[in-house]
Structure 1
Amino acid sequence: MKNKLNILIFSSISLILALFSISIYLDLKYQNDLLNEQLNTLESSIKNEYKQRLKESINNTIVYIDTMYKHLINEQNDKLNLNKENKKVLINETRKYLYNNIQDKSRYTWINKIINYEGGENFAIRLIHPNLKRTEGLFLSTKTKDIKGNLPYLEELNGIKKNKEIYYTYYFKQLNTLEVTEKLSYAILYKKMNWVIVTGIPLNSLNELIKKEKNYLKRIHKKDTYNLTFYRGIILVLFILILLILRKKLMLTLIENEKLNEKLEKKLKNVETNFSKFFELPINIFLIADFKGNILQVNSGWEKILGYKADEIVNTNYLSLVHPHDIDKTLVAMKELEEGHDLLFFENRYKHKNGSYRTLAWSANTLQENGLIYGSALNITELKEKSEIIYQQSKMAAIGEMTANISHQWRQPLSVISTASSGLLLKKSIDDLDDEFLINTLEQITQSTQYLSDTIEDFRNFYTPSREKTEFKIAHVVKKTLNLVKKRYESENIKVIKNISDITIVNFENEFLQVLINLLNNARDQLAKSTEIDKFIFINAYKKDTKIIFEIMDNGGGIKENIIDKIFEPYFTTKDKSIGTGIGLYMSEEIIVKHFEGQIKVENHTFTYEDKEYLGAKFTIEFNA
Structure 2
Amino acid sequence: MHNKLNQKKKSDIAPKDITKSFFVSLIIIIVIFTTSFWFIYNRQINQINQEHLEQIESQIIQAKKDYLKTAVDRTIVEIKQIEEFFSNKFPSDSAYVRSQVKKYIKNHIRQNTLVDSGYIWINKIINYEGGDDYAIREVHPNLPETEGQFLSTHTTDIKGNTPYLTELQGVKKYGELFFTYWFKEFKTDQISQKLSYAKLYKKYDWIVATGIYLNDIDTLIENELKHDELLGHKRNNLTLVLIGLTLLITLLIALFYKKHLTKTFRFYTSEVEKRENKLQEINDSLEQVIAKRTYQLSESEKRYKAIFRNNQSIMMLIDPTNGQITDANSAAVKFYGYDYKTLTSMSIGKINTLPTEYLSKAIQSTAKTSSVYIFKHKLASGEIRDVEVYSEAMVFEEKKLLFSIIHDISELRKTKQELVIARKKAEESDQLKTAFLANMSHEIRTPLNSILGFTDLISTPDISAKQQELYSKIINSSGEQLLRIIDDIIDISHIESNQLKVSFESVSVNDLIKEIASVFRNTLDSKPENSVESHIYIPDESKDYIIETDTLRFTQICNNLLGNALKFTDEGQIEFGYKTKYDELEFYVKDTGCGIPKDQLNLIFERFAQVTRNEYREGNGLGLSITKGLVHLLGGTMSLKSEIDQGSTFFFTIPFTGVIQVKVSKSKELN
Indicate the TM-score class for this superposition, using the shorter chain for normalisation. Answer: 0.3 to 0.5
Structure showing greater Rg: 1
TM norm structure 2: 0.34
TM norm structure 1: 0.37
